[in-house]
């Protein structure tokens, strides 16, 4: 039998009923214990829970950031290093019903509280003043804010002062964008849950059609704010709201993603057709274009932590700032679309590159068509290693040269320069029903001062804290 640290559903329910009087008690972390089947220097298991353990029989875990209004199919949690908040509910087609926000002690997995969370569109990625901040309503003329205290689970709902199209949180602030209406420009505000525009509101020259609430996205990534309306990308200062730079008509763009150094990958598009890609560029925080290419191959790593001294990966080459010519090229960085693949899948593959992570001077690549994964040395353009791989994964953390890969069938640490497996944990340890082949797990490193190195591994049917042993 798989070795797991579990708390019975009855005990959890009892803890929930009295949690208001016990949240102030100091809880000591449970040291990580070896996981059955794990190899190498794998982290140990602090605790693990299923939806039934948090009194949601037949439920699944989901990421609160993506809300409960529809099924995001993505698991996850939000944590401040003390409390872990996740979303649990039941599936009814694409609907996510009986949605409940659940607060857990990161120390021992005990349930602190449970709060109803139906029809939540999304939540901020960080706590603000000890609270989770979420919102409801993004298709009409009104929205409302839901806050939940991370210690007690006490919730409060109030009307928002404007219809919200997206909301996020960072460094103790709430950022929200409002719908574009006739005669008005797109607006981003910073403030609190009680007053969304208490600090500032800034308008952008959005070219999105009025009344198109789903066209915009708002991010506060790695020290820079990004507003994307589907046709233009606007970068703004998180403290002041000042527009740092933008890409819009006649240089339309979309899908801005900030790397860990604050530089932003921008997809340049045809203004008459936002789906037609004409190139990409990497833009520094002050608007300086560090690299640009007319290649329609897009490299959009989900984990982007480049070394300052290495060439930047863009299109099918490596570029150094202010040098328009690549220092090396490799056409194999683009998908080779099989002849039996037709549009729109062919169009998607023809524009999406193979890089899924940048870690220092190494790019990790995956070619699902050939079922291979490899690594590229960004300094030289040479392949460091290559091997067969039939499983998909992303990078969740980087410790020196060791990257933690996670996916529906993968949880392991690899040396990015050699490809060798440093440690491995069978995902069936956490749940063995294979449901995550249709959904997506999440691995989050907890940023908190602790003698333990905690990570939260959330799957559809389990949420677990892993600790360095």
- List Cα–Cα distances, 149 to 119, 121, 139, in angstroms: 19, 18, 27
Task: Give the pLDDT of residue 452.
Answer: 60
Residue 311 gets which letter from DSSP?
P
Instruction: Check the CA dihedral 51-55-58-64 and report its sign.
Output: negative
Residue 332 gets which letter from DSSP?
G
Q: How many CB atoms lie within 10 A of CB 76?
A: 23
Task: Give the pLDDT of residue 439.
Answer: 87
Pick the closest to residue 403 from 368, 371, 363 (CA basis).
363
Pick the closest to residue 314 from 297, 336, 289 (CA basis).
297
Q: What b/e string do you get for 42-62 counting C-beta neighbours within 10 Å, with b at 16 or more?
A: bbbbbbbbbbebbbbeebbbb
What are the beta bridge partners of residue 33? Answer: 45
Task: Give the pLDDT of residue 9.
Answer: 34
Pick the closest to residue 147 from 163, 167, 162 (CA basis).
167
Task: Give the pLDDT of residue 17.
Answer: 36
Q: How many CB atoms lie within 10 A of CB 10?
A: 9
DSSP strand pairing (39-40 vs 421-424): antiparallel
* Tokens 């797109």, residue located: 186
Q: CA 360, CA 357: separation in Å to the nearest integer?
A: 10
Phi, psi of 19 (to 5 degrees): -60, -25
- List Cα–Cα distances, 219 to 6, 113, 169, 235, in angstroms: 36, 29, 9, 10
- Contact between residue 29 and residue 66 where contact means Cβ atoms under 8 Å apart: no
Task: Give the pLDDT of residue 14.
Answer: 36
Q: CA 171, CA 359: separation in Å to the nearest integer?
A: 25
Peptide bond just before 250 cis, omega within 30 deg: yes
DSSP-based three-state secondary structure for 358: strand
Residue 215 gets which letter from DSSP?
G
**What is the per-residue DSSP string for 240-284?**
T--EEEEE-TTS-EEEEEE-TTS-EEEEEEETTEEEEEEEEEEE-
What would the pLDDT profile of 79-113 be if each residue is shown by its tens digit? 999 999 999 999 998 889 999 999 999 999 999 99
Rounded to two decimals, what is the model's pTM?
Answer: 0.89
Q: CA 238, CA 221: separation in Å to the nearest integer?
A: 10
Which residues make Cβ contacts (< 8 Å) with residue 172, sequence separation at least 6?
Answer: 126, 128, 129
Q: CA 427, CA 154: separation in Å to the nearest integer?
A: 34
**What is the per-residue DSSP string for 401-434?**
TEEEEEETTEEEEEETTT--EEEE--GGGT--S-
Question: How far, rounded to the nearest angstrom, does the alpha carbon of residue 226 sit from its chain's CA centroid?
Answer: 15
* Residue count (the chain): 469
DSSP strand pairing (355-360 vs 328-329): unpaired
Pick the closest to residue 66 from 461, 467, 465, 458 (CA basis).
458
DSSP strand pairing (383-388 vs 144-149): unpaired
Q: CA 377, CA 362: separation in Å to the nearest integer?
A: 5
- List Cα–Cα distances, 83 to 29, 77, 105, 374, in angstroms: 12, 10, 5, 37
Q: CA 311, CA 25: separation in Å to the nearest integer?
A: 51
Task: Extract the residue ranges of the chain whose pLDDT is less than 50.
Answer: 1-24, 212-214
DSSP strand pairing (410-415 vs 421-424): antiparallel
Number of alpha carbons in the 13 Å side-chain half-sphere of residue 358:
23
Peptide bond just before 125 cis, omega within 30 deg: no
């Amino acid at each position: 039998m798989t070795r797991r640290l579990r708390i019975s559903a009855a005990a959890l329910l009892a803890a929930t009923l009295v949690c208001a009087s016990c949240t102030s008690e100091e809880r000591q972390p449970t040291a990580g214990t070896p996981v059955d089947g794990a190899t190498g220097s794998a982290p140990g298991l602090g605790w693990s829970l299923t939806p039934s353990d948090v009194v949601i029989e037949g439920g699944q875990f989901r990421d609160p950031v993506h809300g409960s209004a529809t099924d995001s199919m993505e698991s996850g949690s939000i944590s401040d290093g003390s409390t872990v908040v996740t979303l649990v509910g039941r599936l009814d087609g694409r609907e996510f019903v009986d949605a409940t926000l659940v607060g857990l002690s990161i120390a021992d997995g005990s349930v602190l509280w449970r709060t109803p969370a139906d029809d939540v569109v999304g939540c901020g990625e960080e706590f603000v003043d000890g609270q989770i901040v979420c919102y409801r309503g993004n298709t009409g003329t009104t929205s409302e804010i839901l806050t939940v205290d991370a210690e007690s689970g006490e919730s409060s709902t109030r009307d928002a002062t404007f219809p919200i199209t997206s909301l996020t949180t960072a460094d103790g602030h709430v950022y929200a964008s409002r719908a574009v209406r006739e005669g008005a420009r797109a607006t981003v505000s910073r403030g609190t849950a009680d007053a969304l525009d208490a600090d500032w509101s800034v308008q952008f020259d959005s070219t999105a059609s009025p009344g198109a609430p789903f066209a915009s996205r708002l991010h506060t990534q790695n020290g820079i704010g990004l507003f994307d309306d589907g046709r233009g990308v606007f970068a703004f200062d998180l403290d002041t709201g000042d527009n740092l730079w933008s890409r819009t008509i006649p240089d339309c763009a979309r899908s801005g993603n900030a790397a860990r150094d604050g530089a932003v990958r921008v997809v340049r598009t045809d203004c008459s057709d936002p789906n037609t890609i004409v190139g990409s560029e990497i833009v520094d925080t002050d608007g300086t274009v560090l690299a640009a290419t007319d290649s329609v191959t897009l490299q959009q790593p989900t984990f982007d932590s480049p070394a300052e001294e290495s060439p930047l990966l863009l299109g099918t080459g490596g570029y150094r700032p202010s040098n328009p010519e690549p220092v090396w090229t490799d056409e194999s960085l683009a998908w080779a679309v099989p002849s039996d693949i037709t549009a729109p899948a062919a169009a998607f593959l023809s524009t999406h590159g193979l890089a899924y992570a940048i870690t220092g001077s190494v790019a990790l690549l995956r070619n699902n068509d050939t079922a291979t994964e490899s690594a590229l040395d960004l300094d030289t353009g040479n392949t460091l290693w290559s091997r067969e791989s039939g499983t998909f994964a992303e990078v969740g953390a980087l410790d020196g040269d060791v990257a933690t890969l996670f996916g529906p069938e993968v949880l392991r640490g690899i040396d990015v320069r050699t490809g060798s497996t440093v440690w491995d944990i069978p995902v069936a340890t956490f749940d063995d029903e294979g449901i995550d082949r249709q959904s997506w797990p999440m691995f989050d490193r907890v940023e908190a001062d602790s003698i333990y190195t905690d990570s939260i591994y959330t799957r559809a049917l389990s949420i677990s804290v892993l600790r360095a042993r």
